[in-house]
Structure 1
C-alpha cells in the first residue's frame, strides 16, 4: 500500500504541491491556502505563494 503525502492543491488553476498533513481541508479536498479553499471570493487571484496566480 502506498500512502500519498503530497498532492496538487485542489484549486484547478493552482500550481502548488502541498503536504496532505498540512493542507487546508474543505469539502473533502486539500488546498494550499484559505483563498483556494474558499474559491477565491471577490475574484481574488493568487494564493500567497510566490509565482502562483491561481483563481477559481
Structure 2
C-alpha cells in the first residue's frame, strides 16, 4: 500500500504541489497557501515561483 504525501493544490489555476503535512486544509481539500484556500478574495496569488494563480 502506498501513502500519498503530496498532491496538486486544489486551486484550479494553481500549479503548486503541496506536502499534505504542510498544506492548508479547508473543506476536505488541500491548498498551498491561504490565498488559494480563500479563493483569492483579495486578488493576490500564491507568490510561489513560476505560478501565476489568482483567480
Q: 1:17 and 2:22 equivalent? A: no
Q: 1:32 and 2:37 equivalent? A: no
Cα deviation digits, residues 27-50 of structure 1 (max 9, x gap)? 0100000000000003x1420111
Superposition misfits of 4+ residues, deviation over 3 angstroms: none
Partners of 2:10 and 2:23 in 1: CA distance: 10
TM-score normalized with structure 1 length: 0.88
Which has more helix, going by share of residues? 1
TM-score normalized with structure 2 length: 0.90
**Tell me, which stretches of 5 or more residues in structure 2 are unaligned?**
none
- RMSD (Å) for aligned C-alpha atoms: 1.1
**Tell me, which stretches of 5 or more residues in structure 1 are unaligned?**
none
